[in-house]
Amino acid sequence: MPITENRYRYRRLFFAGVTLALSGLLTVSAWADRLPAQAVDTSETPDIAVRASDPDSKPLPYYSLAPDIYFLYGNIAEVDRRNRGFNGNAGFVVTREGVVVIDSLGTPKLGRRLIATVRKVTDKPIRYLILTHNHPDHSYGAAAFRRLPGITIVGHAGTLEYLDSPNLPASVAFRRRTLTQDMKGFKGVEPDILVGGEIHGHYDFTLGGKTFAVYNADHHHSFGDLVIYQVEDRVLWISDLAFNNRATFMGDGHSGAALETMDWLRKTFPDARLMIPGHGSAQTPPFPMVERTYSYIKRLRDEMRNAVEAGQDLESAVRQSDFPDWHGTPLYHENHKKNANFVYREMEQEIYFGGN
Ligand SMILES: [Zn+2]
């Protein structure tokens, strides 16, 4: 499959912000949106300023990765007022019978702008939205899609558990505080089709000659995670199973399941030609992001298992944990101690209770 040239050749948009300081001095600041020249096999990261005042009809920047396959490459950052929740990826595939969207971005407003982005490319109806997992950066735009006539929303069965959990009101309250305008119209969305049951079992559907195999990839990162394989194109949408050029975050999944799921991924899709993660650029074989994420999680598990077995307490084990070779990777400093804390407690469970 040829990877086509990025639709957005390197380009900059300049915006000027003018602030009248309290001192009465006029200060002028200028900043630029930065879009990588391409969104495949690059460590260049986007830095897109999303404005609350942008109309819903304004498309977001997107890349054409291959014929009919489009990719929205979100900022590598935590949620802030600059990215307004555009800190994860989404994508869509155009078939002759309609469009399949993968993930909905982080707010209803971004969901509406994602719909506008699809509209810029094609007037074919959006027939499916697949939510790879319940985390806000991937699923809070879904309310915008729920309103589209004839749409089928596919999600993991664990989504129902998430919708009933205290995690939902907590993260909605946080987003309503920081992104008030953008959260208007938010609703928890129950998928029409739930993928669950047997681990690595799959739900397949075909639209316009393209087959989408939606796999239950366990709950390695959330209440339930999916992996999607576009069979004819041999494209894998792996969600947050591996991160490209970003440190992982372990909060409510399971690190052991993450390693097992990556092993399964490598064995099951040896012919994949393109891998699209939930964060970071897309990648071609041999998909080094999988190896790198795997080695990080394995190393942290080994370190924390040794700490628990040696009788070291959680606080000092977390304080001492540091991977200097990861210092340059985006979000390492924000996530590593939280990951260490999470994995230490997992190791306690595994060692003392045999649980996982
Ligand atoms: Zn994510």
C-alpha of residue 182 to centroid of ligand 1, in Å: 18
Tokens describing residue 295: 């080695």
C-alpha of residue 265 to centroid of ligand 1, in Å: 18
Please report, for residues 119, 245, 290, 325, the alpha-carbon distance to residue 295 in angstroms, rounded to integers and kept in the order given.
40, 14, 9, 12
C-alpha of residue 99 to centroid of ligand 1, in Å: 22
How many CB atoms are located within 10 Å of the residue 198 CB?
A: 7
Q: What ranges do the domains of the chain cover? A: 48-353
What's residue 11's pLDDT? 32
C-alpha of residue 133 to centroid of ligand 1, in Å: 8
What is the pTM (predicted TM-score) of this model? Answer: 0.90
pLDDT for 122-132, tens place per residue?
Answer: 999 999 999 99
pLDDT for 240-298, tens place per residue?
Answer: 999 999 999 998 899 999 999 999 999 999 999 999 999 999 999 999 999 999 999 99
C-alpha of residue 134 to centroid of ligand 1, in Å: 9
CA–CA gap between residue 322 and residue 181 (Å, rounded) = 38
Candidates 75, 89, 137, 140; CA nearest to 112 is 140
C-alpha of residue 273 to centroid of ligand 1, in Å: 22
C-alpha of residue 176 to centroid of ligand 1, in Å: 19
C-alpha of residue 106 to centroid of ligand 1, in Å: 9
C-alpha of residue 55 to centroid of ligand 1, in Å: 25
pLDDT above 90 coverage of the chain, percent: 88
C-alpha of residue 135 to centroid of ligand 1, in Å: 6
pLDDT for 31-57, tens place per residue?
Answer: 568 999 999 999 999 999 999 999 999
C-alpha of residue 27 to centroid of ligand 1, in Å: 36
Candidates 100, 104, 102, 107; CA nearest to 79 is 107
C-alpha of residue 139 to centroid of ligand 1, in Å: 9
Instruction: Return the exposure string of 7-27: e unless at least 16 CB atoms fall within 10 Å of the residue's CB, then b.
Output: ebeeeeeeeeeeeeeeeeeee
CATH no., domain 48-353? 3.60.15.10
C-alpha of residue 239 to centroid of ligand 1, in Å: 7
Average pLDDT value for the chain: 91
